[in-house]
Structure 1
């Protein structure tokens, strides 16, 4: 590891940007950081860019040295050159090298809006109770070819407040990882990235939220999140559905033990095969489905592995059960959430999973 000689004055923001064989996109990512400008009422913070080259075998090293020797980013650019060890070791090396009070994330195939750093730094500076500031993002791909991922981006962009992020965190990762900026002390309090059979970003947000982290999101789209064919969520088994289901089960069980007065029993809105498969690891953790709630008359009255499938009228009154909204079809979970709210179930009494 051989970072560039840092400035003797610590910056306010450290941008941690891991890169592996990303020479074809890294220049655009760096240019977007070079082009950072103040936002109205928000000065541009002093920042450094820590590019963690994770053992690249393409021309990434040459590109980084060109940027560093050419002073395109001045003394802000601090490349780290590591043997290839994967995303988690690269991220944690970047965190260890970061000197900023705030840490911003970015990936080598994404580009930042010119006001991103100024807006997020001002957000954290002006809201001391906020631990992590994310932003909405622009989907950088073909919506026809990648409609599933585009819908996921739209879903993430709909979660703005801490309450929305917290309640939806068991459905999927509620913030776009390369869009976040967080306080360095979060790592000191709740730990860095962990390596394992799970998505490292979803795991760290679940862990931090479990321990009380406050997260919210700027409504502006401050990052272009590009949908590359080599994106880890496509290629890495840790992002496969089965791995996500196991991760969800671990942290959801912990939440239910602390917050469900009817533990281990839950009522599940959604009795379809996909919902049952997603929640199967939760039952292995000792949580017990009291019933599956469905609207399909062909399913109501059946039993699935001994668990009754009932209609919506059979759901206990508000305050007398814990509800998991497990519908996965497009728009179904949102419709069920509206129905639950309209029938008196406070949003804090049901989770979207």
Structure 2
């Protein structure tokens, strides 16, 4: 078998009804020099039998025993066995479109600054329509097609679809790969790679069919709750944009803003003032922090403004309002919700 260009890490647990199609969609792709490391992570159904059958029919498939230790351990096990220059992800219930891996490798070989790329995604469900909020998230993610756009948006939401990514193995290994903890492992990896100076972006072409279901980990596992995403944002804001005591102002004193403020304090960062549009809040103090209006901001200074407004249309209006007044996103302000 030719040396693989891409090693695909595919953890699976109790996925007997979908895993065969997930693996076959990779094998049918236009990039033939691949290796699929399917990690059976403690399945109690026929998943292992299905995977063994696939491995018997195609030598590019290998089955590893994850021992039921969880997703991060399964990914790290697969990464330890990978020798190819590129490492891709795949979930056991998604479907890769034919050019997915080929297009990802072409993009990575064209830009040495990139540590990885995701692809455009198409959401689907078997039982009901995909929720409008998840559709909106996918549309936002699909629009982050330059490293600069993704860098500016990195603190809003997780900017890559995990099972769509293809990564360079060297920076993945050098930064420690996936981390186990009380937080979303994929978002932690993206922020870690960006903090290390690498670029990430999404390809504009839809190359993955991304399954949504009521039982997916992002809906059932507490590590994927909003507060754990906010904890990661605060951690990397403190390590990067707010390092060395940089002053901080936060636009939005609602629940999201107050949670961010508490978590920033855990990392030694103090919010100096809140900005609010509600007239009854302006001029007051919230948890001892003064509240001012947007007009009181003045021109940009040495501080950083964090826009903690989760409603998409309101966030876009604020972006335009700040840009029109000379504020530069990424330098003077960052959107963090």
- With the shorter chain as reference, the TM-score category is over 0.9
- Counterparts of 1:207-226 in structure 2 under 5 Å? 207-226=192-211
Q: What SS does structure 2 have at the residue aligned with 1:256? A: coil
Q: Corresponding residue for 1:274? A: 256
- Counterparts of 1:8-23 in structure 2 under 5 Å? 9-23=2-16
Q: Corresponding residue for 1:50? A: 37
Task: Judge conservation of contact 2:261–2:271 (CA < 8 Å) in 1.
Answer: no
Q: How many residues align?
A: 334
Q: What SS does structure 2 have at the residue aligned with 1:347? A: coil
After TM superposition, give the deviation of residue 311 of structure 1 in Å. 1.2
State TM-score, norm by structure 1: 0.90
Q: Corresponding residue for 1:205? A: 190
After TM superposition, give the deviation of residue 143 of structure 1 in Å. 8.4
Residues in 2 aligned to 1:276 and 1:257: alpha-carbon distance in whole angstroms: 17
After TM superposition, give the deviation of residue 296 of structure 1 in Å. 2.0
- Counterparts of 1:257-296 in structure 2 under 5 Å? 257-258=242-243, 263-296=245-278
Q: Corresponding residue for 1:25? A: 18
Q: What SS does structure 1 have at the residue aligned with 2:62? A: coil
Structure 1 residue 61 corresponds to structure 2 residue 48: yes
Q: What SS does structure 2 have at the residue aligned with 1:209? A: helix
Structure 1 residue 350 corresponds to structure 2 residue 333: yes
Q: Corresponding residue for 1:182? A: 167
Q: Corresponding residue for 2:84? A: 100
Q: Corresponding residue for 2:285? A: 303
Residues in 1 aligned to 2:212 and 2:319: alpha-carbon distance in whole angstroms: 29
Task: Judge conservation of contact 1:264–1:288 (CA < 8 Å) in 2.
Answer: no
Change (3 A) 1:145 1:175: closer
- Runs of 4+ aligned residues of structure 1 deviating over 4 Å after TM superposition are 142-145
Q: Corresponding residue for 1:148? A: 133
Deviations 1:110-155 (A, max 9, x none): 1111111111111112222222111121122488662332222222
Q: What SS does structure 2 have at the residue aligned with 1:50? A: strand
Q: What SS does structure 1 have at the residue aligned with 2:278? A: coil
Residues in 2 aligned to 1:129 and 1:244: alpha-carbon distance in whole angstroms: 26
Residues in 1 aligned to 2:96 and 2:122: alpha-carbon distance in whole angstroms: 10
State TM-score, norm by structure 2: 0.94
Gaps of 5+ in 2: none
